[in-house]
Amino acid sequence: MTRFLFEPPAIRSIPVTGEDAACPVHRIFCVGRNYAAHAAEMGNEVDREAPFYFTKSPHALLASGATLPYPPGTQDLHHEMELALVIGQPVFQATRDAARGAIFGYGCALDMTRRDLQGAAKDKRRPWDLGKDFEGSAVVAPLTRAEDMGEIGPQRLHLSVNGETRQDATLDEMIHGVAGIVADLSRFYHLVPGDLILTGTPAGVGAVRPGDVLHGGIDGLDPISLTIGSAT
Ligand code: MN
């Protein structure tokens, strides 16, 4: 048995609603510009041919209901309310039907973003990591099994900050649907159980400040909440 020099990182997981077993998280993939109105509000064109991706470390995972200390290095922390899905079986170079069958379940998620750092990276044609992948930047609520969620499409997605609605859309506004995303991503990765995919945010993203309380929901899923704390 390997003797480790340091304590190995803890396995990050997401609860499954109504069950006592949790879903261990392997990798975190995120889809960019998957709602036309959000791409437009950011001044971007949408690509209807194929989705594009960025990643977050599993150590960015934060449970719903937590307080996220205002992160370092930014003056412009933004919320992005999204549908998350988790892969439940190996999937590689899959058809859409096979990809759909590989989805274990869904959850509400927040892709928290240091918008000023992301913007600076875009300007300099640099990677988005500093803007997107930081501690607590991937907030995920308890998961619901795919068979209990049903077909993705008509469900309403919404997010409020301090009781004021900021984001409100339906999942059928997604440019690339869940099966298309999984099938496309499986062209580039051997996806495995525990891979988590955040499927992009609709319009209405905006800044949050210490003391703000976020509440989000998607029809059929457990709601998500997040409190923004002071910088630490
Ligand atoms: Mn996002």
Domains observed in the chain: 27-229 (3.90.850.10)
pLDDT band at 138 (very low <50, low <70, confident <90, very high): very high
Q: How far is the CA of 50 from the centre of ligand 1 (A)?
A: 16
Q: How far is the CA of 154 from the centre of ligand 1 (A)?
A: 20
Q: Which pLDDT belongs to residue 11? A: 95
pLDDT band at 45 (very low <50, low <70, confident <90, very high): confident
**Number of CB atoms found within 10 A of residue 183's CB:** 21
pLDDT band at 1 (very low <50, low <70, confident <90, very high): confident
Q: How far is the CA of 35 from the centre of ligand 1 (A)?
A: 10
Q: What is the mean pLDDT of the chain?
A: 97
Q: Hey, which residues does 213 pair with through a beta bridge?
A: 227
List of residues 6+ apart from 101 with CB closer than 8 A: 89
Least confident of 46-55, 116-125, 143-152: 46-55
Q: Which pLDDT belongs to residue 119? A: 97
Asked whether residue 71 carries a pLDDT value surpassing 90, the answer given is yes
Q: Which pLDDT belongs to residue 232? A: 85
Q: Report how far apart, in Å, the C-alpha atoms of 71 and of each of 21, 27, 150, 162, 218 are.
A: 31, 22, 36, 19, 26
Q: How far is the CA of 198 from the centre of ligand 1 (A)?
A: 7
Asked whether residue 44 carries a pLDDT value surpassing 90, the answer given is no
Q: Which pLDDT belongs to residue 216? A: 98
Q: Where are the beta strands (DSSP E) in the chain?
A: 13-15, 22-24, 28-32, 52-56, 61-63, 67-69, 77-79, 81-87, 103-111, 113-114, 138-140, 144-145, 156-161, 164-170, 196-198, 206-207, 213-218, 224-229
Q: How far is the CA of 232 from the centre of ligand 1 (A)?
A: 24
Q: How far is the CA of 31 from the centre of ligand 1 (A)?
A: 6
Q: Which pLDDT belongs to residue 39? A: 86
State both tokens at 94: 């899959």
Asked whether residue 107 carries a pLDDT value surpassing 90, the answer given is yes
Give the SS3 label for residue 19. coil
Q: Where are the beta strands (DSSP E) in 67-205?
A: 67-69, 77-79, 81-87, 103-111, 113-114, 138-140, 144-145, 156-161, 164-170, 196-198
State both tokens at 22: 């949790």
Asked whether residue 47 carries a pLDDT value surpassing 90, the answer given is no
Question: In whole angstroms, what is the distance from residue 77 CA to residue 217 CA?
Answer: 20
Question: In whole angstroms, what is the distance from residue 154 CA to residue 46 CA?
Answer: 22
Q: How far is the CA of 41 from the centre of ligand 1 (A)?
A: 13
Longest dimension (CA), the chain: 54
Q: How far is the CA of 61 from the centre of ligand 1 (A)?
A: 14
State both tokens at 69: 């200390």
pLDDT band at 46 (very low <50, low <70, confident <90, very high): confident
Mean pLDDT across the stretch 184-209?
98
Asked whether residue 109 carries a pLDDT value surpassing 90, the answer given is yes
* DSSP label at residue 75: S
Q: Which pLDDT belongs to residue 118? A: 98
DSSP H or E stretch at residue 97: helix 96-101
Asked whether residue 48 carries a pLDDT value surpassing 90, the answer given is no
pLDDT tens for 162-191 read 999 999 999 999 999 999 999 999 999 999
Question: Nearest Cα to 135, choosing from 64, 56, 59?
Answer: 59
Output the pTM of the full model.
0.97
